[in-house]
Structures are given as structure tokens and as C-alpha cells.
Structure 1
Amino acid sequence: MEASKGVSRRSFLKGAALAGVGAAAAGMIAGCTPGKTSDTATAETAQAAASTNNSAAGADGTANPSWLGEKPTVDEADVTNTIDTELLVIGGGNSGVCAARRAAELGMKVVVMEKQPEDTWAPIGCDSGTVNSQAYLDTGAEAVDEMQVLNEWQLRTYCRSMPSIAKMYATRSGEVTDWIRSLAPQEELDEYSVYYSFPNGRRAVAINHSGYTSFPGTISYRDFNNTLGKGENQPAWGPILQYSIDESKKDGAEWLYSTTAVVLIQNDEGDVTGAYGKGPDGYVRVNADAVLLACGDFSGNGEMVLALNDEVRELAEASGLDTTDPSGFMGMGQDGMGHKLACWAGGVIEPGPRAAMNFGNGMGVPGLTAIGNYPVFGPDGKRFFNDAQLQFGGLGFMARRARGELMCTIADGKWEENIQNQGYEHNMSSTTCAREWDLVKEDLANYKTGPDGFEVYGFTGYGMNKSKMYAAETLEELADILGYEGEAKQGLLDEIAHYNEMCAAGKDTDWGRDADLMNPLDTPPFFGMAGNTDKGRISSGMVQMSGVLVTDNFEVRRLDDSIIKGLYACGNDCGGRYAVQYHTLMAGNSVGIATTQGYVAGEHIAQHLEEDKAAADVYAEKLAKMAEEAANNPAGGPPGL
């Protein structure tokens, strides 16, 4: 047998530095580099590996997945402006604003590269769910157990999320909310703050239903009275966050609006030392000690959605939908530039399953959004699942049901009493904040019976949108209105009678609905909504929730686990936050975790940048030693012997 060829630590480090790749274990072939191959893998083998890797760049740039494309180049002759700074934040949204302000107030020189024009800048979202902010506690709410929030986050992600990120959200998100709000005038906070799920109508702080615990703490920023002139109940989060932008500028941060990042700048060792952007006056070069990617998600790029979110693509294929036109699979978010910048520099997208917000296929249960969670009945009138398990995005099984099925949800006249037991999930009811509660009560009090229905204000969506609900004085009449006929109608009436018997017994022996949600449908008027399921559209949702692999300190990692010195990612560019699906243990936690990550990332970089770079070198030495030991061991031999 021919002896295996040895690999020296020096050659490994040289290759890893130049190409961002290396064999951390025997047989590992890297597929994510800044553009050159290492001494331990030929261009041919690395390219072959990358050809089946849809999450990273090719070893020499020629085998990049189609969604990534070729790494751009910028001619220095085309650069019209050069700026030197300590921290470059790419992206001025929820996470980027907080990162820039926090780093600047700690004395760091900061530049922000933001693609939106200054006069039309706006963040995505307006619901901010955080834990134990003083602003929320000042309403009279009780404090939440932070460790319970941490554990619930981990359970909902099947322990796939990074514990450091979950803990950061549980223990520091309230602090960040108060820090953001501290700059806004109190009259504006009073005008725009809507405190969800408190104080009306709840009997517990943390509510558990069918194994899922949800918590209060959401503040939604809405222009309820159209003070800003863009319509009633439109998002008002932008004006509050704008104060943090202004504060960052007071502390010396420079904002480059209307400037889109093009490509990161790296030295011969693969360290990130800045970025090129393209603005109104041409290309700008920003030299920086560190770059923080805060560019948002990739739902606005249909090609990336289909390539990286297997569930969206495969559900579309299983539903017979055409996937050749990616534009049909776009969401409300960003174009994925942050993910691309990271991968061109040597980073890699986190492994699947990859989460989306509000991923769906047109088959959602017809929900009584105004008044929360009630029993769901299928086309034969029978219940077919635990209808208390309506956590956000948790109904993926609906994709496996037949198309065109009639479904309905029914409540009765005791809805105001019953709502007190419901949780804080989006798909429960969040209308117990005082402003929206009064609107819902008014609409329900003025209900109209009959097939024409009546309009009810719902808590979801922007503006004063209403949903059509139907009412009747008897269940028989409501069944007719909702479209049930013959045996299906009788099946519905019989099922409701059976359901009421289980409510009296205090236990759902059919599907396990929680006892405190077993409220009989026996008091007129009866309210309902119905719909027919379909699979005609596969949505990528509002935003995609997956990012690139990072360390606990937000440093971007390569495929071989080495660290790209000087490159960080937060918000939707950062991996390790969600798994499978967005979840709402607290409504608005997407904005809440983005602002928290930005704040903590900016703080960490300002205080520990040089320590991170030194630690990255030490870690590279460790990886080199491991690779050397693995390569020099006989095949199959235990490591280190």
C-alpha cells in the first residue's frame, strides 16, 4: 500500500488563507472561496464538489450556483470616491440602524451603505415583539420569565437555532426596545404605540396550548389616527427608528444613501477589508477594519427562493405549478445581496430546512382573525386536527389535503368571554389592545345575519382593512350560509353537537384541543367564515429567515469552518435564528430579534474586533493541526494517533 501524502500545517494555512478552504477532516473538499484553490484540493475536485453545492461559491468561481453568479469586479479607475472607516454597515434597515448607532455611540467610526434614497427610506415591518421592555411593563404587564422564553424558542426551532442567539433575544431584546424608544418624544410614542395582548382579556402571562407557550410583549407601531398622512393604521415604525439614524449621525456615522453594495474587498489572506458600492455619482470604495452585513433577506429574489428554500420549490412541483418563472415565487423582502456578498467572500448559506415567514400554498384555514381561535370543520362537517395548534406557519400538513375542500370556522355569542383564554400567537387574537378591541366589539355588536355577511375589523394587515364574517341566529342557518348541504350539513351539525358534549366533559377525546379552549358553540348569535382550499399559488412569504453560517459573535464562517476575518452578519443575513418556519411565541419577534442582533453586533464589534481577529488566527491554527493529523493518519485510523 502506498503511504498517504502528508499535509503540513504551513501549507494548510496558506491554502486556507488564500482560498478560504481546507480539510478540517479527512476527505473534506471545500466549495466556498474568495476565488482561488488551496494547496490541499485541486481546482477540479473543488469544482466538482461545488457543482452539487447550492449553498456556496465554487472553488474557483466557475462552479457557482446560478442564483449566485460570478463574483463582480470593480475597476479602480471607475471609483469616484474613497472613504476610510472602522466599521462599514451594509444595509440600513432594522438591524443595520441599531448596529450603526450602537457602534458609533461606543466611539467607533461608522459608515452605512444603504440602497434606499434618504427621502423615501423605510424599514420593513412595524410589530416589534421583545421581552420585558420597560415600555411594556409600564402598562401594568407582569414580567416574563426570560429562561422560559429561551427554552420555548429552542423548542420551536427543534433546537436547531443557535442557543446564543435565542438567549440574546430572551435577555436583551427588552433593553434594545427601551434604547430605541429613549430618543423619541413621548407624545409620538403615545400616538404610535399599540400594546398587543395587554391589558384586556388575558388570564395568564405565559399561555401554553398544545405544547406551545406564547408570551406578551409586542408593541406595534401604527399611525392609528393618520397623523403622518399616509392612511389610518399604516406603519409608524420608521419615524421612531429614524431617531436612531439621526443619533448615529450625531456620533459621527456617515450614511451613504442610494448606494448599493457591489462586492466585498479582500486582501491576499482572504480577510475582508471593505466593500465597493455604486451610488448616484458612480462607484465608491469604503475601506474598513470590519464589515457588517445587514442587508436583509432574499425573498425578493425568486431564483434564490426556489434554489434555497426546498419546501417552496418542492411543494410547487408537487402541486403541478410551473417553476420556470422565478418571479412568481417572490415575497415582500430584499434581493439577497447580503447572502451573495458573503458567499462571494467565502461564506456559506446555513443548511436546511430553511425558514420563511408566512410560507403558504393558498390552503390556510379560514380564521376568525377578529376574535381568534375556534374549531375548524372540514368538507364533511368533521373536525380533522387539533385546531388549537394554529401557531404561525404550523399548518404545513394542509398541503397534503385535497384541492377544493370546503372548510369553516365557527364561534358563538360568548366570543368575548372565550378570548380571555387564548394565547398570543398571530393566529389567535391580538385584538385585546385597547384601540383595536373597541373596533372589534363595535363591529360584532352591529352584526348582520344572512348570506350577505358583515364587515369586521381584523388585527392583521396594514390599514383599516376588514374581513367579511357571517352571522345567524341558529347553527342550521349558518351552515346554509357557509355552503354546507345535504349530508355535509348534517355532518357539521352532528359534529358540533358532539363537540359540545366533549366541552361539557372538559376533554377533547378526538383531537386533544386544550381544555381551556373547549368552549361549547351553544349561544346565539353564531359567527362563521368559510373557504375552499387550493394549491394554486406557492408563496415565499413576507421574508425568508435563513442566512449564512456565523459564530456566536456574528463572524461569517467558511465551509471548512474557518472564520473570514473582518466580516460579520446580523438580521436576516445571519443564520442560526429560525428553523423550518418563522414562529410567534411572541408576535413581531422578527423585528425584535433583528434590532437586538444589530445592537449586540455593533456593540461587540466596537469592543472586541481585534480580539476576534486574533482568535480567528488561533482557530485557523487549530484547524490546520486537525487537517494535518487527519491527512497523515492511515485511512480509517482514529484522529490524533
Structure 2
Amino acid sequence: MKHSTTGVSRRSFLKGAALAGVGAAATSMIAGCAPSAKSDAQDAEDLAATGSGTSASGNPAWLGDAPVIDEADVVSTIDTELLVIGGGESGLPAARRAAELGMKVVVMEKQPEDTWAPIGCDVGTINSQTYLNTGAEAVDEMQVLNEWQLRSYCRTMPSVAKMYATRSGEAYDWICELAPQEDLDEYQVFYSFPNGRNRVAVNHSGYTSFPGTVSHRDFNNKLGNGENQPAWGPIMRYSIEKSQELGAEWLFSTSALVLIQDEEGSVTGAYGEGPDGIVRVNADAVLLACGDFSGNGEMVLALNDEVRQLAETSDIDTSDPSSFMGMGQDGMGHKLACWAGGVMEPGPRAAMNFGNGMGAPGLTAIGNYPVFGSDGKRFYNDSQLQFGGQGFFARRPRGEMMCTIADGKWEENIMNQGYEHNMSSTTCAREWDLVKECMENYTTGPDGFEVYGFTGYGMNKSKMYAAETLEELADILGYEGEAKQGLLDEIAHYNEMCTAGKDTDWGRDESLMTPLDTPPFFGMAGSADKGRVASGMVQMSGVLVNDNQQVRRVDDSIIKGLYACGNTAGGRYAIQYHTALAGNSVGLAITQGYCTGEHIAQNLEADKAYADEYAAKLAELAEQRANQPQGGPPM
């Protein structure tokens, strides 16, 4: 059979789907697939040649044209049943699970074997036995499902939300079952406090958060990378070894170049380039688990409208895409899918914690407290937390001064707080002990004191200020004259509302309405800045897939043999990443990989048959539309 490496032709698409082909016009609808492999100079030449933001062939400039591989350059060929492109958070569980169920698996992973590591270390899942064994109460899975959908305004796929709510704990336990107990004891830390919380599911002003997050930190520097650095990789590596024991072949240091398709447009493998040259892998199915596209600034600006528009409305130069990169991947999985005929999901496309430098200064070590503006007044419901999602800050004045204030009851107040990232970031007893020590040894005055925050990797600290009176704290935080009096008056008013049990100004949650009346008083202050735009740690949108993770074309037909999961797949988040519990991004990635590998192993032939059946249905619908009388009722 002849194989194509340049995507689906109009003729083959019409033949396979009996609908309009993916020509230049249709391709222009792929507003966000993957970054161009071309240099900036080549992209500029394309733009000059076409007079628009497309390549010479009609693809968006950031997508470019699929490479054409000369078979004479192929140094080796491998035949397999499942090719997984990307062996990270999602691809690794998929490979191991499929191998467990008897599939012959090859993994194409761009990282070298000796330095392989996943991104992230916080893993949020629902009702894992690992977490429940700490004495935690089980969570209502349907409540989690509904919360996921509410936070995304029902724009995410219900099947994805249900998969996460009902199977994520299973997936996490399955990964951990291979690790020696001494590794788990060393690296696992549980997102909670020594005494837990006052409630299992905590609702603050409409947002419900849940327990279930396990962070993986090398607190004692056993790995030699520094104290409290990520240690999820050592736990995940046991699954690599297990998959290899089951027969999976890992091609490390090998980057995918382009998918292989037959004349019907079905995906039958991929080319990759490794240390020895180009390898061809023929497969019955290909799973794209390549991560996100935040590592490609050109793609971020093209696909995440809000990042680009925030920059434009803040008069920030967008001519250098490298200024808009995050910590994630280069979008190659999206690119591979789009070259094969796939399409990006529609917007608004989500990112993890992006913005343009705006946000309230947080007392991250000890949690959520009232926020006051430059005039001393509160200006929003400061208990309404949505990790990275308080977009209204972009509409606040540049240079606006803000402060957050807590009092001596902070330890008691934490018991009423939730499991969001923006509540206290202290994750376990050992961190709690360090924070308590810092707080007990506070010093008053303008020099401040340092307290562990644990908001990132390492033993990071942030500066906090303390005073025995609110008047002294206001001076230290930089409030003067009318602003200082306004702050003191607002705190007095806030305390009155706490006594009455209701925030009649902004609706702060009653359980968090504790008066600021007990010394010492703690605070942090800062000024808003709209002089930069962060693209986000990770971009959370992907290519359109159906409930079985099969990749869809722009006409909704299915590309046989092609699947996507993790951050390469769409339908997971919308508008903004959210933290109904911290670490759900990694938790969902491992769950999707686990479930998708299982599904492919058990349903590959049925999926291919369904793709044919659905193509026939689409063709029938197209014929009905074509024959519909002018002005007739919609079909």
C-alpha cells in the first residue's frame, strides 16, 4: 500500500468521508495546531510571498508544511500495534496499560533516557486509596464531575470530567503500586494540614474544592538536585521499566517528524529522528501524547487569543514570540495531528495561570485573607479563588497598590480554608512545622521577616511584615494620609461585618469572615503591573477528539488510527485552568493515558469500524443538506 507523509489529499478525503476536503480554506480554520518547524526568516518569506499569515501552501505560518520524508533516508523500520508519541505524564501510563493488556507497543520519546523527567510533581486525584489511607474521607465523585463542568462553564467534555472523577484515584494507585514503600515514604507529601480541614468538600463563594492531592518532593535532597525539588520522576520510572518488561520498546532521544497515512487518510505510523537517523514505525494505531504548546511563543500568540489581546490592550510588543513562552512543550503533537487533517478545539482556549502581572499579594504560607486597594478599600470578593483565573485584574489600573492582612488567629483560620492552590500552599506536616517556626519567630518593623511559602520548587521564602497594631502595619505597608485612614476605617467596617456574620459589601464567604482584631498583625503589599504578559506555565487546549479520544477532522469525521490524550487533546479545560484540587492537570493526564491505553487495547477494531460508520452517516447528512429545498426547515 502506498503511504503518504503530507496529510490527506482532497480526493482521498472525499473518498473516505464523502464530504468537503481539507484544502487551503479548511486548513485556515485550524486556528491552532502546532508550531512551524521553519526558521523565523523562512516564515517571513512565506508571509511576504502570500501576503497573509499563511505558508506558501496555505497552512497558517506557525504550522508550516509537513515534511516529506525520503524512504532512502530511513535507517530502520519497526512494526508494532500501538505507537505512543510522547512518553510523559500521559503517554507513559498509556504505553504501560496497553502493554499490560497484550498490545505490542513502541514509545517515541524525545528526552534522553538518562535525563528523562515528567513536568510537575503535584498529582491531584479523587479517592485514591493512597490518599484515603491517611484517614481522609472519600469524596462524592459526582460532585467532582459537576464542579469540573461548572468551572469550565460546561465547555469541557463531560466524558473527560467523569473519567477524572471516577478513575483518577485508580490510575494513581496503579502507578504507585510499583514503587518501593521506602520511595513513597521519602517523596510523597499530602496536600492537607496535620489536622485536616473542618469540611471534606469546601465551598467558598460558589467554588468547591476537594482533598486528594499528593505532591512528590525530594525534601531531603536524596536525588542531589536540591531540597524540596520535584520527585515524581522516580515514581514514574518504575512504570517505564514495567512497560519494557511487558515488551514495550522505548525509542529515547527520538523526535517525531510526521505521521504516515494511507490513501484513505488513515494513520498507519510515523517517522521519527533519533541518534542513528530517521526511523519508520508502522502501527495499527498512533496515540499522540506530546504535551502542550506553551514552549512555542509563536503558537501561543496565534492560538491563545486572550494572551495576545492582553498584550495588545496593554501596549506590549508581540514581535518577539519568545517572550510569550511557558514551561511546557513545543506543540509538536498538535502539529502532527493538524498535518494529518486534525483541527484545534475552538476557544476560548485555556492556559495555566496566565495574566499580565496583575494579582493581589498573597500570604501564601498561611492562606486567604482580605485584600485592600490603594485607597484602603476592598474591591472584590477576596475569598473567590480560581487559580490564575481572576481575569478582572487585567482591567484594574496599572501601578495600583494592594495589600493583604492577617492577624494572630491565622492558624485557627486555616481550618476553614479549602484545597485551592491559592489557599495556604503548605502541604504537609514537615512544611507546616517550618511555617509555624517562622511565624512564631516573627519580627516587627519595616525590615520584615521571611517565611516559607512552598509555592514553587525548592525551599523558597517570601517576605512578610508584622506589627503589634494595625496603625503600625499600615505605615510599614506604605499607606499614608487619607489612604492610611481609609485602610483603618475599612478594617473596622470589615470587623463589624464579621461580627454580624455577613459580608454585605462583596459577599466574602461566611466561614472566612474572621475579624482582624488579634495581634500580631501580618501583611504583604505590592503594586499591580501590566507591563508583561505571561503565557502560562502550560497551555491546556488541544485537538478535537471524540469520547474515545479519536482525533476529528474539521468536518467532524474521524481520522482512523489516530488518538490523542493529555495536553495534546482537547475537551479537558476551557477558558482557564482551575484547581478544584491542586495538581489536577497531572492527575488528569495520567488518568487519560491510563484509560486511553486501555481503550485502544480493547476497542481498536471497533473504533475503526465506528469511524467508517460515522463517515457514512456524515455523507448521508451532507446529501440531505444538498437536496434540501431552498428555505426549507434546517436538517
TM range (shorter): over 0.9
- Deviations along 1:465-495, one digit per CA (max 9) or x if unpaired, are 0001011111111111111111101100000
Alignment pair present for 1:572 and 2:567 = yes
Q: Matches of 1:90 and 1:48 in 2, distance apart?
A: 29
Determine which of 390, 405, 414 is the counterpart of 2:385.
Answer: 390
- The 1:20–1:149 alpha-carbon spacing in structure 2 relative to 1, beyond 3 Å, is farther
Partner of 1:108: 103
Distance 1:639 1:580, change over 3 A: closer
One-letter amino acid of the counterpart of residue 47, structure 1: A
The amino acid across from 2:508 in the alignment is R
Question: Residue 429 of structure 1: CA displacement?
Answer: 1.1
The one-letter code sitting in structure 2 at the alignment partner of 1:154 is Q
Tell me if 1:372 matches 2:367.
Answer: yes
Contact 1:206 1:214 in 2 (8 A): yes
Instruction: Give how far 1:60 is off.
Output: 11
CA distance in 2, matches of 1:20, 1:556: 18
Mapped partners of 1:211, 1:427: distance in 2: 15
Q: Within 5 Å, give how 1:452-491 maps onto structure 2.
A: 452-491=447-486
Provide Cα deviations, 1:333-385, integer angstroms capped at 9, x if missing partner: 00000000000000000000000001121111100000000000000000000
- 1:558–1:607 distance in 2 versus 1, CA, 3 Å: same
Q: Which amino acid aligns with 1:502?
A: M
Corresponding position of 1:587? 582
The one-letter amino acid paired with 2:497 is M
> Are residue 619 (structure 1) and residue 600 (structure 2) matched?
no
Q: 1:333 aligns with which of 328, 351, 358?
A: 328
Secondary structure in structure 1 of the residue aligned to 2:114: helix
Please show how residues 36-47 of structure 1 align to structure 2 within 5 Å.
46-47=23-24
Counterpart of 2:150, as a letter, is L
Structure 2 residue matching 1:120: 3-state secondary structure: coil
* Stretch moving more, 13-22 or 344-353: 13-22
Q: Secondary structure at the match of 1:94?
A: coil
8 Å Cα contact 2:228-2:458 kept in structure 1: yes
Instruction: Tell me if the contact between 1:22 and 1:627 (Cα under 8 Å) persists in the aligned partners.
Output: no
User: Following TM superposition, by how much is the alpha carbon of 1:637 offset from its aligned partner in structure 2, in angstroms?
Assistant: 2.2
Question: Within 2, Cα distance between the matches of 1:14 and 1:417?
Answer: 65
With the length of structure 1 as denominator, give the TM-score of the two structures: 0.93
* Cα shift at 1:390: 2.0
Structure 1 residues 20, 334: closer, same or farther in 2, change over 3 A?
farther
Corresponding residue number in structure 1 for 2:201: 206
What is the count of residue pairs matched by the alignment? 610
Among candidates 408, 416, 419, match of residue 413 of structure 1: 408
Deviation at 1:267, TM superposition (A): 0.1
RMSD (Å), alpha carbons:
1.8
Does 2:421 match 1:426? Answer: yes
CA distance in 1, matches of 2:309, 2:442: 43
Aligned pairs for 1:72-221 (under 5 A) are 72-221=67-216
Question: What CA deviation, in whole Å up to 9, does each residue of 1:202-248 have, x standing for no partner?
Answer: 10100000000000000000001111111110000000000000000
Q: Structure 1 residues 385 and 302 mapped into 2: Cα distance closer, same or farther (>3 Å)? A: same
Q: Tell me how far apart the structure 2 counterparts of residues 60 and 270 of structure 1 sit (CA, whole Å).
A: 22
Is the 8 Å Cα contact of residues 207 and 215 (structure 1) preserved in structure 2? yes
Say which SS state the counterpart of residue 182 (structure 2) adopts.
helix
Unaligned stretches of 5+ residues in structure 1? 1-12, 34-45
Give runs of aligned pairs for residues 595-634 of structure 1, distance below 5 A: 595-634=590-629
Report the counterpart of residue 4 of structure 1 in structure 2.
none
Decide whether the 8 Å contact of 1:409 with 1:530 is kept in 2. yes
Matching residue within 23, 28, 31 for 1:54: 31
Give the letter for the 1:162 counterpart.
Answer: M
Paired AA for residue 225 in structure 2: K
- 1:639 is displaced (CA, Å) by 5.4
TM superposition shift of 1:435: 1.6
Matches within 5 A, 1:170-569: 170-431=165-426, 433-569=428-564
**Normalized against structure 2, the TM-score is what?**
0.94
User: In structure 2, what residue type is equivalent to 1:461?
Assistant: G
For 1:87 and 1:201, locate their aligned partners in 2 and report how far apart those are by CA, in whole Å.
43
Deviates more, 1:59-68 or 1:152-161: 59-68
**CA 1:53/1:507 → structure 2, altered by over 3 Å: closer, same or farther?**
same
Counterpart CA distance in 2 for 1:504 and 1:465 is: 36
Q: Deviations over 1:39-67 (max 9, x none)?
A: xxxxxxx4345446524699998111111
**Cα displacement string for residues 538-566 of structure 1 (whole angstroms, at most 9, x for unaligned residues):** 00111000000001000000000000000
8 Å contact from structure 1 (residues 265, 276) kept in 2: yes
Unaligned runs of 5+ in 2: 1-7, 35-52
The answer to whether the 8 A contact 1:16-1:22 is kept is no
**How big is the shift at 1:23?**
7.9
SS of 1:112's equivalent in the other structure is: strand
- CA shift digits 1:56-96 (9 cap, x unpaired): 69999811111111111110000001000000000011001
- Tell me, in whole angstroms, the C-alpha distance in 2 between the residues paired with 1:409 and 1:464: 23
Q: Is the CA contact (8 Å cut-off) linking 2:465 and 2:523 kept in structure 1?
A: yes
Pair 629,81 (structure 1): closer, same or farther in 2 beyond 3 Å: same
Give deviations 1:110-165, integer Å, cap 9, x for gaps. 00000001111100000000000000000000000000000000000000000000
Partner residue of 2:631?
636
Structure 1 range deviating more: 588-597 or 482-491: 482-491
SS of 1:208 mapped into structure 2: strand
1:393 Cα deviation after fit: 1.5
Contact 1:161 1:576 (8 Å CA) reproduced: yes
Identify if the C-alpha distance between structure 1 residues 199 and 174 changes in structure 2 by more than 3 Å, giving closer, same or farther: farther
Q: CA deviation at 1:631?
A: 1.0
- Do the aligned partners of 1:20 and 1:562 also contact (CA within 8 Å) in 2? no
Match of 1:10 in 2: none
Q: Is the Cα–Cα contact under 8 Å of residues 47 and 59 in structure 1 kept in the other structure?
A: no
Partners of 1:335 and 1:473 in 2: CA distance: 51
- CA gap of 1:549–1:465, structure 2 versus 1, over 3 A, is same
SS at match of 1:116: coil
Partner-residue secondary structure (3-state), 2:609:
helix
